[in-house]
Amino acid sequence: MPHGYYGYVGKILRVDLTEKTISIEPLRRDLTTNYIGGRGLGTRILWEEVEPSLNPLSSNNRLMFVTGPLTGTRAPAATKFGVVTKSFLTGIYAVSLCSGDFGPNLKFAGFDGVTIQGRAERPVYLWIDDMNVQFKDARHLWSLSTDLTQRYVKKELKDETISVACIGPAGEKLVRFSSIVHERRTAGRCGTGAIMGSKNLKAIAVHGTGDVKVKDVEKLRDVTERIYKDAKEAMEGLSKYGTAEILELTNYYGALPTRNFQSGVFENAEKLSGPSVREKIVKKDIACWSCPVGCSKIVSIKEGTYDIITEGPEYETLAMLGSNCGVDSIGAIALANKYCDDLGLDTLSTGNVIAFAMECFERKLITKEDTGGLEIKFGDHQVMIELIKRIANREGIGDLLAEGVKRASEKVGKGSEKFAMHVKGLEIPAYAPGSLYGVALNYATSPCGAHVNRGSTFLTEINMPPKIRFDPRGKGRLVKNEQDRRAVYDSAILCLITRRATHLPQVTEMLEAVTGMRTSPGELMKVGERINNLERAFNVREGITRKDDTLPRRCLEEPMPDGPAKGKTLSETKLRVMLDEYYRARGWNEEGIPRKDKLQELGLNDVAEQLELIVNA
Amino acid sequence: MSHNFEMMILHKFITCDVEKCTGCRICELACSEVKEKLYNPRKSRIRVVTLGLAINTALVCRFCEKPTCVRCCPRDALRQSEENGVVFVDEMRCDGCGWCLEACEFGALTFHVDKKAVIACDLCEGALECIKACPFNALELVTSNILAQRARCAVTRSLFKGRS
């Protein structure tokens, strides 16, 4: 146990693609006590190593693959690895998590994380075979789909059981919202794929045979079994139908993005995820590493011209490539999902940007001349699938859309910014903000831009009586707490799928059992707060202030046409009330910059000093 | 004394329902947890294999009635219990040559890297930790007779499809 705590392996692998060197660094003790691991660990390294205003595509940008202390153990759904970098889509801090067995395998190989810097001269992939790390030529893999890349790498390394994370053509072509794909799961958000592509790194393959040792096996087993028991009931729907279960709920509460967020209610929602549909198409359950839920579904769909067997589509994909594009064909969505995965595109941003193009076309802001002859209309799923291919290849109109909705709307102009649905450049995902003020506030303030999993209060809010739900007051503290809590899960790392049975006290117990450190829910919340503040400091260093903590004008000016918030508008005034309260709860000043005393309270003295220099400059 | 007559004549072993198995690998983690007090699938007596999109199963020693692994061991390091068919490994004798690993058609034996010896399922002396741990109820204790009878029922049902 070189690190001093159990659970960790105690090593970080550093890879320099320019120099073609690898080195192994000890995992610093202050990183684990102050940041747990995972997202927190990545955030701190990014803060220390990425200089302000660095071009995200610069070879000096870092791309980190991180695991947490729980990764590889039997803790329920401790399956994820995180990707932390400076985003090419938003130009600010980015973290994206991905399930599967890549994270556990990385840890069994003997690393808590991998930091990648530099740029390879020619396409390469990295082969981590326990402590034996090699650069491999990837020229023959370039331009291949993520599916084929994984297959070829496994074949080449003569082992079907190794884990491969890779990019597809979209990442190679620097599509701003391209993803990193492992199995059929993705670190989808914030355009992590483009960073990997800019480094000429096609894939990372991992095979690990080592141990993950924990302090108290019996205690971990005890907590785990309690969570399994609670999980059985709390997560029955998720086990049965997958994340698509929630679609009926979001539709009911007016939060299902429909036709580029013009509404939160989709008239054909039933066709996307009704129990009868799921009953018919779901053929088999698949679970990620150590997960007792198994939300992933193998589906077989025969519908019209679509005949497809695949994994998914998940809720957010159903919403963004479905209702948000006005599409009600489950077959089309499944196929679009498969194309996105194969090409290495984030399904959420893709659905968002295509819906934007559809609205632009219907409002005649773009014409057939701009689209290369395509009639891009809501509900036309064939056009949607065609656009996905063009985006990934940056072909014609696809080249414009590949820039993300923010830049696309700037180019289209003509008032289209009003319905370019993004925050800080990150496309708004599948919980429409108009009917849920906490969700909206989280989008406005989350460190990555509009990212639901950095602090979604959806489940809390729908349980509120409407009077409280539609009151901007009280949302600031609610969102702050949820964001801090999520940072703990993302650092441990635990998948959010079990969160209905895994609350902070259980996370505390598991962390204690695994690492041997003494902690408490309160202390963990402090860690979460520290991580969020450090991420904010990173963004402030990049020029982010209050002016950026906002929402698209559609959210602030247009009343909701349907659903429980019908006729209500989340106005500029309401957002101001929420932001003020949020900043106060966070200990940030009115401009949204963390105060010196707050940072010092969190032990971030060096960060406070740096920020002071910037703010005073 | 066992009251189970069948147990006297046929070995019970753990089998995995491929339809129910999700590939979550909790059985591997539970096994290494109980046996090794750590987490490492490569030190588990039960091993999960995932291929492609939807192929998942767990493989473990089936306590063959005439075990090839025992017969082929050049150092007589493997011995089968007459009572329940469990294959014991004499760690002093086993030199890790791996012949038994190759001989077993199920890949049910695993080479333990620290012990430098082979490990195999011993049914946890009846505790059956992997079966208890499986959240999807994919694992169960059976005999080859039980499996054969199920296969007979299944084939008969398909022959008389449509009739109740």
| Cβ neighbourhood burial of A282 (10 Å; 0-12, 13-18, 19+) | middle
Long-range contacts of A147-154 (CB under 8 A, 24+ apart): A147/A341, A147/A342, A149/A202, A149/A203, A150/A181, A150/A182, A150/A183, A150/A203, A153/A125, A153/A203, A153/A205, A154/A205
- Among B residues 105-144, those touching chain A with beta carbons less than 8 Å apart: 113, 135-136
Residue B13, in any domain of the structure: yes
Tokens describing residue B43: 């030190």
Number of domains in chain A: 3
Q: Which positions in chain A touch B136 (Cβ < 8 Å)?
A: 285, 287, 294
Q: Is the dihedral of CA B97, B102, B104, B108 positive or negative?
A: positive
Q: Which positions in chain B touch A69 (Cβ < 8 Å)?
A: none
Distance, in Å, from the CA atom of B6 to the CA atom of A57, rounded to the nearest integer, reads 68
**Residue A312's pLDDT is what?**
83
Main-chain phi, psi angles of A301, to 5 degrees: -125, 125
Co-location of A275 and A394 in the same domain: yes
Distance, in Å, from the CA atom of A492 to the CA atom of A9, rounded to the nearest integer, reads 14
Co-location of A410 and A437 in the same domain: no
Nearest to A101 by CA among B161, B29, B157, B4: B29
Distance, in Å, from the CA atom of A191 to the CA atom of A203, rounded to the nearest integer, reads 16
Mean pLDDT to the nearest integer, A232-239: 84
- What's at A550, amino acid-wise? T
The label of the residue with tokens 């409002």 reads A363
Q: Is the dihedral of CA B57, B62, B68, B73 positive or negative?
A: positive
Main-chain phi, psi angles of A484, to 5 degrees: -65, -40
Nearest to A7 by CA among A71, A81, A102, A82: A71
Q: In terms of DSSP H, where are the helices of A161-210?
A: 169-172, 192-198
Distance, in Å, from the CA atom of A486 to the CA atom of A499, rounded to the nearest integer, reads 10
Q: Which positions in chain B touch A221 (Cβ < 8 Å)?
A: 33
E strands of A37-193, at which residues?
63-66, 81-86, 93-98, 113-117, 124-129, 132-137, 163-166, 180-182, 185-187
Residue B19, in any domain of the structure: yes
| Cβ neighbourhood burial of A360 (10 Å; 0-12, 13-18, 19+) | buried
B1 falls in which pLDDT band (50, 70, 90)? Answer: very low
Q: In degrees to the nearest 10, what's the CA dihedral of A522, A525, A526, A529? A: -160
Distance, in Å, from the CA atom of A469 to the CA atom of A559, rounded to the nearest integer, reads 16
Would an 8 Å CB–CB cutoff place B30 in contact with chain A? yes
Report percent pLDDT > 90 for chain B: 84
CB A195 within 8 A of CB A56: yes
**Residue A614's pLDDT is what?**
84
Rg (CA), chain B: 17
Residue A219, in any domain of the structure: no
CATH code: domain of residue A453: 1.10.599.10
Is pLDDT above 50 for A208?
A: yes
**Residue A56's pLDDT is what?**
98
Model confidence pLDDT, tens digit, residues B18-69: 999 999 999 999 999 999 999 999 999 999 999 888 899 999 999 999 999 9
Co-location of A255 and A346 in the same domain: yes
Co-location of A415 and A467 in the same domain: no
In the 3-class helix/strand/coil scheme, how is A256-325 assigned residue by residue? CCECCCCECCCCCHHHHHCHHHHHHHEEEEECCCCCCCCCEEEEEEEECCEEEEEECCCHHHHHHHHHHH
Q: Is the dihedral of CA B48, A70, A445, A578 positive or negative?
A: positive
Residue A4, in any domain of the structure: no
Number of other CB atoms surrounding residue B137 within 10 Å: 10
Question: How many Cβ pairs closer than 8 A exist between chain A and B?
Answer: 76
Co-location of A376 and A450 in the same domain: no
Q: Which positions in chain A touch B39 (Cβ < 8 Å)?
A: 72-74, 211-214
Q: Mind telling me how many Å the CA of A74 is from chain B's nearest CA? A: 6
Classify residue A134 by its DSSP letter: E
Testing the interface with A: which of B22, B31, B57, B132 to mutate, by most A Cβ within 10 A? Answer: B22
Co-location of A416 and A445 in the same domain: no
Distance, in Å, from the CA atom of B25 to the CA atom of A502, rounded to the nearest integer, reads 20
Main-chain phi, psi angles of A566, to 5 degrees: -50, 130
Is pLDDT above 50 for A1?
A: no
**Residue A2's pLDDT is what?**
52
Model confidence pLDDT, tens digit, residues A355-409: 999 999 999 999 999 999 999 999 999 999 999 999 999 999 999 999 999 999 9
Q: Mind telling me how many Å the CA of B27 is from chain A's nearest CA? A: 9
- Among B residues 33-92, those touching chain A with beta carbons less than 8 Å apart: 33, 36-43, 49-51, 53-54, 56
The H or E element that residue A14 is part of is strand A11-16
Residue A444, in any domain of the structure: yes
HSE, side-chain direction, 13 A CA sphere, residue B36: 25
Co-location of A257 and A392 in the same domain: yes
Partner-chain contact A212 B39, CB within 8 Å: yes
Tokens describing residue A492: 């441990």
Number of other CB atoms surrounding residue B29 within 10 Å: 29
- Quote the domain boundaries for residue A518: 433-616
**Residue B162's pLDDT is what?**
76
**Residue B7's pLDDT is what?**
47
Residue A5, in any domain of the structure: no
Is pLDDT above 80 for B8?
A: no
Classify residue A82 by its DSSP letter: E
Residue A480's region, left for phi above 0, alpha for psi from -120 to 50, else beta, is: alpha
Partner-chain contact B50 A161, CB within 8 Å: yes
Domain boundary among A410, A427, A444: A427
Question: Could you tell me which residues come within 8 angstroms of residue B157 by beta carbon, excluding any fewer than 6 positions away?
Answer: none
Residue A223, in any domain of the structure: no
Distance, in Å, from the CA atom of B112 to the CA atom of A5, rounded to the nearest integer, reads 25
**Residue B163's pLDDT is what?**
75
Residue A224, in any domain of the structure: no
Higher pLDDT, A256 or A497: A256
Residue B123, in any domain of the structure: yes
- Quote the domain boundaries for residue B34: 5-159
Co-location of A596 and A551 in the same domain: yes
In the 3-class helix/strand/coil scheme, how is B82-151 assigned residue by residue? CCCCCEEECCCCCCCCCHHHHHCCCCCCEEECCCCEEECCCHHHHCCHHHHHCCCCCEEEECHHHHHHHH
Number of domains in chain B: 1
Q: Give the full edge-to-edge strand order of the sheet including A201-207.
A: A132-137, A124-129, A201-207, A163-166, A180-182, A185-187
Classify residue A508 by its DSSP letter: H
Nearest to A84 by CA among A345, A504, A425, A447: A447
Is pLDDT above 90 for B70?
A: yes
With H, G, I as helix, E, B as strand and everything else as coil, classify residue A18.
coil
CATH code: domain of residue B137: 3.30.70.20
Is pLDDT above 80 for A196?
A: yes
Q: Which positions in chain A touch B38 (Cβ < 8 Å)?
A: 211-214, 217
Classify each residue of B60-84 as buried b or exposed e, where b means 16 or more C-beta atoms within 10 Å of its C-beta: bbbbbeebebbeebeeebbebeeeb
**Whole-number Cα distances in Å, A240 to A24, A246, A287, A292, B53:** 43, 12, 12, 12, 18
Pairing of strands A124-129, A201-207: parallel
Nearest to A455 by CA among A539, A541, A525, A554: A525
Is pLDDT above 60 for A558?
A: yes
Main-chain phi, psi angles of A204, to 5 degrees: -125, 125
Higher pLDDT, A244 or A343: A343
CB A141 within 8 A of CB A156: no
Co-location of A379 and A460 in the same domain: no
Residue A288, in any domain of the structure: yes
Classify residue A85 by its DSSP letter: E
Distance, in Å, from the CA atom of B66 to the CA atom of B83, rounded to the nearest integer, reads 14
Mean pLDDT to the nearest integer, A305-315: 92
**Residue B4's pLDDT is what?**
56
Main-chain phi, psi angles of A51, to 5 degrees: -70, 155
Distance, in Å, from the CA atom of B45 to the CA atom of B30, rounded to the nearest integer, reads 10
Is pLDDT above 70 for B146?
A: yes
Co-location of A270 and A336 in the same domain: yes
Is pLDDT above 80 for A274?
A: no
Main-chain phi, psi angles of A381, to 5 degrees: -75, -25
Partner-chain contact A214 B53, CB within 8 Å: no
Co-location of A153 and A192 in the same domain: yes
Residue B164, in any domain of the structure: no
Is pLDDT above 80 for B164?
A: no
Partner-chain contact A211 B43, CB within 8 Å: yes
Nearest CA in chain B to A210: B40
CB A434 within 8 A of CB A440: yes
Residue B52, in any domain of the structure: yes
Model confidence pLDDT, tens digit, residues A588-617: 999 999 999 999 999 999 999 999 988 887
Tokens describing residue A420: 């370019």
Distance, in Å, from the CA atom of A440 to the CA atom of A422, rounded to the nearest integer, reads 11
Residue A454, in any domain of the structure: yes
